[in-house]
Amino acid sequence: MTSPPVTGPAVAPRHRGGPGPARFRPRRTPPAGTARRARRGVLAHWRQYLAISPFFLIFGAFSFFPVFYSLYLAFQRWDGMGTMQFVGLDQFRFLLDDPVFWMSIRNTLAIWVLSTVPTLFGALVLATLLHSVRRFKGFYRIALYIPNVTSIVAVAIFFGAVFSNNFGLVNAILGTVGIPPVPWLSNPWLIKLVIALLMTWMWTGYNMIIYLAGLQAIPTQIYEAAKLDGAGPVRTFFQITVPIMRPIILFTVVISTINGLQSFSEPQVLFGSNAANPNLGGPGQAGLTTLLYFYQSAFVNNDYGYGAAIVWAFFVLILVLVVVNWRLVQRGRKS
Amino acid sequence: MDLSRRRFLQAAAFTAAASGLTVACGNGSGSAGGKNGKSLTLWYWGGALSDKVVAEAKTHFGKDVKLTVASIGGDFKSKLTTTLAAGTSVPDITGIKGEDMASFLPNANRFLDLNELGFKEVSSKYLDWKTKLARTEDGKQIGFPIDIGPTALFFRADRFDKAGLPTDPDKVAAEAGTWEDYFALGVELRKKVPGTYLINNISSVFNIAVGQGTERFIDRDNRFIGDQDHIRKAWTTAIRPYTLGIDAKINDNTWNAAVGKSLNTELGAAWHALDIEQAAPGTKGKWRVCATPGGPANQGGSYLALPKQCRNPEEAFKIISWILSPENDARGFTDAAIFPAAPAAYSMPAMTGGDPFFGGQKVIEVFGPAAKAIPASYEAPADAAVMAPYMTALTSIEAKGRNPDDAWKDAVGQARQIARRQGVK
């Protein structure tokens, strides 16, 4: 981006003490001069700053401030209304011996792996297929993207009905083939599988569109050259498509890590009708993700300090995972 | 971009300070305004009050104040909590759900003491145990009871008949006087009508069994008592139907499909009748109601409260005492199945009629005495949070076949930890 024109001829005469003509700029500007110049720079561009300010004001009030406020809350005990009580590191100490917290981390990671791997792999395969399709391109793209723009709540309710233990569609179909009903929504691993399936269904199309855009940017000559050299479609995929797409794959991996670890609505809606414990992630808490546990602690139990501690501990975990992922995908790039 | 890091940090710090300032200002302006405002807002949620009565209240008090009504959807408690914490746009009158009342009591200073506004004079018209649950230890009354949820046993008379068991509510109540007798009936029913269950899940039994006692999970001295005999007894009661094989183990929305088919009985509050009716309209006339085995308990039932920012406390109190007068309370029962907290309503024609869904049975004859017999218990602010692990453990017994003794140990351990986190000794 170009730097803003700071001094114009019109303002130059006001530069009292300045060394004369505007075009002449000394190597060392006196400190007072820099400060003034900077302020004038902001003022001169007030229209532009005003134009972009709504985002930053809203971001500041509704994202930036709450984020740091929650860090402050993590060291307090607060029920949301009464007086706060400083408790030091107590909340984090509670976290360490809270088996439910660690279980929620395990659940989240399991659901994340179960959903991200098939999502990204499926998206890449689908994108490659779609890239070579000749007819009905628009139809396929829309059809595969629609799940992503469908409301999560609607999808979760739908999945809940389809996989219902007693009267679900899947079990009904299995029943006609003579397979006994499968406890989709009560077995701890099947619960995770259903949630992961739901997320896969929702996010494959999104990643596919990104991959498709990447694929279209690869010059066809490379493929032609590969074909001439006798590479089959599988080899072309792994030796040409995947390496060229690496930066795009990296982007989707990071985004999917962030999204996948934040699963909340899926288990919340799927098990929201559990009358005894609407916010605890279903039977055996197998669908209790960390964010759901945070929600339950803060907004159901009114324990805002503990909730804040949960999300900050979780933030550290996400950060670690994103870095690990980054390095994994980057590895071998230079070789 | 030639935005230097320093300037970015300056801007960020400024933004943070500015938003902090906004919040601080928000806190200050809330209490402004006189105490004889001409417009009042009322917050409640769909089904909390009879819409007809509320609409009439608007016109009835129209000449003195303008009453604006907002039906708040979603998570009512957290919306109310954040609004009260922010201190602006606080409603003048608000509903509070019964299960949330305990968590609002430690912040009683956010509400007006209704006793000072005249609740003392009318309090005898309302059930004492319900009123007590919205009173602080030092006698401040923050909630005006709207309704209660006395429990009962709903049963399929046709199935009972088929199994050769009595179908008359009084006789069933006598046969199922204790939990053990009730479960024995269930075993009998299952033998005679295969493929049916007595109860939908064991956490519902636990919930009611705990509610039948006067002590819950935390005592008045703020000590954790969730590991003691009264809870253990409720737990053992809940496990029984599971070991006897008369538990349908339904913990999801398939209850809707099961209620008309495989379930022989339902344990629930008065409002639960509406759930059954909606889920299984085809079973109309086949159900009856009788007293809960082991005595009545309460589930749900809400309050109206006046936040301290209320712009016209006198008038607001007049409005709520009008809306919740026994006469209007009785109408709430006809309009929205809200079971009144005022016993005088129980003998009014609106409530003494027969219910066609229950074969014309006069259900008030079951719920009325139950309402009056509910034990007054102490519910600590952290009670609901501390109870959750027990429910989870019971569900894991049903879903994963977890050993009940191990589940008990898990539940007590987790409950104790949650209690400690919330400042319970």
> Does the predicted interface ipTM exceed a cut of 0.85?
no
Contact list, A68 vs chain B (CB under 8 Å): 16
Model confidence at B355: pLDDT above 80: yes
pLDDT, residue B47, reads: 85
Model confidence at A272: pLDDT above 90: no
Spatial distance between the Cα atoms of A278 and B203, rounded to a whole number of angstroms:
13
Q: Do A276 and B201 touch (CB under 8 A)?
A: yes
Chain B nearest CA to A80, separation (Å): 7
Chain A nearest CA to B97, separation (Å): 13
Contact list, A284 vs chain B (CB under 8 Å): 392, 395-396, 399-400, 402
User: B58: Cβ–Cβ under 8 A, 6 or more apart, which residues?
Assistant: B67, B69
pLDDT, residue A43, reads: 83
Q: Is B135 in the same domain as B269? A: no
Q: Do A79 and B106 touch (CB under 8 A)?
A: yes
Q: How confident is the model at residue B184 (pLDDT cuts 50, 70, 90)?
A: very high
Q: Do B81 and A81 touch (CB under 8 A)?
A: yes
DSSP code of residue B376: P
| Domain presence at residue B206 | yes
Chain B nearest CA to A319, separation (Å): 22
pLDDT, residue B25, reads: 42
Q: Is B268 in the same domain as B282? A: yes
| Domain presence at residue B15 | no
Spatial distance between the Cα atoms of A71 and B309, rounded to a whole number of angstroms:
30
**A–B CB contacts, 8 A cutoff, strictly below:** 136
pLDDT, residue B12, reads: 60
CA angle at B97 for the pair B106 and B280, rounded to the nearest 5°: 155
Which CATH number does A93-330 carry? 1.10.3720.10
Tens digit of each residue's pLDDT (9 = 90 or more) over A280-317? 777 778 889 999 999 988 888 888 999 999 999 999 98
The CATH number of residue B324's host domain is 3.40.190.10
Q: Is B336 in the same domain as B384? A: no
pLDDT, residue B400, reads: 81
Q: Do A65 and B16 touch (CB under 8 A)?
A: yes
Q: Is B268 in the same domain as B382? A: yes
**Residue range B97-113: mean pLDDT, rounded:** 92
Q: Nearest CA to A124 among A244, A19, A17?
A: A244
| Domain presence at residue B353 | no
For B313, the domain range is: 39-148+301-347
B253 and chain A in contact, CB less than 8 A: yes
Q: Is B176 in the same domain as B238? A: yes
Q: Is B58 in the same domain as B122? A: yes
More confident residue, B176 or A37: B176
Place of tokens 């990071």: A254
What are B298's strand-pairing partners?
A: B150
More confident residue, B28 or A130: A130
Best to test chain A binding among B394, B395, B410 (most A CBs inside 10 Å):
B395
Q: Do B395 and A82 touch (CB under 8 A)?
A: no
Helix H segments across B137-288?
A: 157-162, 169-175, 179-192, 202-211, 229-244, 255-258, 272-279
Task: Please say whether the beta carbons of B326 and B348 come within 8 A.
Answer: yes
Q: Which range (A66-75, A293-302, B198-207, B354-363) has the least confidence?
A: A293-302
**Residue range A165-187: mean pLDDT, rounded:** 86
pLDDT, residue B341, reads: 94
Model confidence at B143: pLDDT above 90: yes
Tens digit of each residue's pLDDT (9 = 90 or more) over B311-330? 999 999 999 999 999 999 89
Q: How confident is the model at residue A132 (pLDDT cuts 50, 70, 90)?
A: confident
Model confidence at B23: pLDDT above 50: no
Determine the residue of chain A that is closest to B205 in CA distance: A276
Chain A nearest CA to B16, separation (Å): 6
Task: Please say whether the beta carbons of B414 and B389 come within 8 A.
Answer: yes
Q: Which range (A241-255, B142-156, B211-225) has the least confidence?
A: A241-255
Contact list, A287 vs chain B (CB under 8 Å): none
| Domain presence at residue B19 | no
Q: Do B257 and A166 touch (CB under 8 A)?
A: yes
Can you say how many angstroms the Cα of residue B92 is from the centroid of all Cα atoms in its chain? Answer: 22
B255 and chain A in contact, CB less than 8 A: yes
Cα→Cα distances B117→A261, B114, B120, B318, Å: 51, 5, 8, 9
B74 and chain A in contact, CB less than 8 A: no
B421 and chain A in contact, CB less than 8 A: yes
pLDDT, residue B29, reads: 36
Tens digit of each residue's pLDDT (9 = 90 or more) over A262-271? 888 888 888 8
Chain A nearest CA to B69, separation (Å): 24
B251 and chain A in contact, CB less than 8 A: yes
Q: Is B270 in the same domain as B366? A: yes
Q: Do A276 and B420 touch (CB under 8 A)?
A: no
Through-space distance between the first and last CA atoms of chain B, rounded to whole angstroms:
56
Q: How confident is the model at residue B32 (pLDDT cuts 50, 70, 90)?
A: very low
Q: Is B281 in the same domain as B380? A: yes
Using CB atoms and an 8 Å cut-off, which of residues 135-194 of chain B contact chain A? Answer: none
Q: Do A274 and B251 touch (CB under 8 A)?
A: yes
Task: Please say whether the beta carbons of A288 and A100 come within 8 A.
Answer: yes
**Residue range B145-169: mean pLDDT, rounded:** 94
Q: Is B169 in the same domain as B220? A: yes
Tens digit of each residue's pLDDT (9 = 90 or more) over A90-123? 999 999 989 899 999 999 999 999 999 999 999 9
| Domain presence at residue B336 | yes
Can you say how many angstroms the Cα of residue B380 is from the centroid of all Cα atoms in its chain? Answer: 15
Using CB atoms and an 8 Å cut-off, which of residues 95-114 of chain B contact chain A? Answer: 103-104, 106-107, 110
Q: Do B423 and A77 touch (CB under 8 A)?
A: yes
Q: How confident is the model at residue B73 (pLDDT cuts 50, 70, 90)?
A: confident
Q: Is B74 in the same domain as B123? A: yes
Contact list, B250 vs chain A (CB under 8 Å): 166
Q: Nearest CA to B41 among B100, B83, B98, B86?
A: B83
Cα→Cα distances A248→A207, A324, B308, B383, Å: 10, 17, 56, 50
Spatial distance between the Cα atoms of A182 and A190, rounded to a whole number of angstroms:
9
User: B262: Cβ–Cβ under 8 A, 6 or more apart, which residues?
Assistant: B195, B196, B197, B248
Structural domains in chain B (count):
2
What is the rounded average pLDDT for all residues in chain A? 83
pLDDT, residue A5, reads: 43
Q: Is B265 in the same domain as B177? A: yes
Q: How confident is the model at residue A7 (pLDDT cuts 50, 70, 90)?
A: very low
| Domain presence at residue B312 | yes
Model confidence at B304: pLDDT above 90: yes
| Domain presence at residue B368 | yes
Q: Is B79 in the same domain as B119? A: yes
Tens digit of each residue's pLDDT (9 = 90 or more) over B219-234? 999 999 999 999 999 9
**Residue B106 CB: number of other CB atoms within 10 A?**
18
What is the rounded average pLDDT for all residues in chain B? 89
Q: Which range (A95-109, A181-195, B114-128, B173-187) has the least confidence?
A: A181-195
Q: Where along chain A do its domains lie?
A: 24-69, 93-330
Spatial distance between the Cα atoms of B140 and B391, rounded to a whole number of angstroms:
32
Task: Please say whether the beta carbons of B296 and B212 come within 8 A.
Answer: yes
What are B43's strand-pairing partners?
A: B70, B94
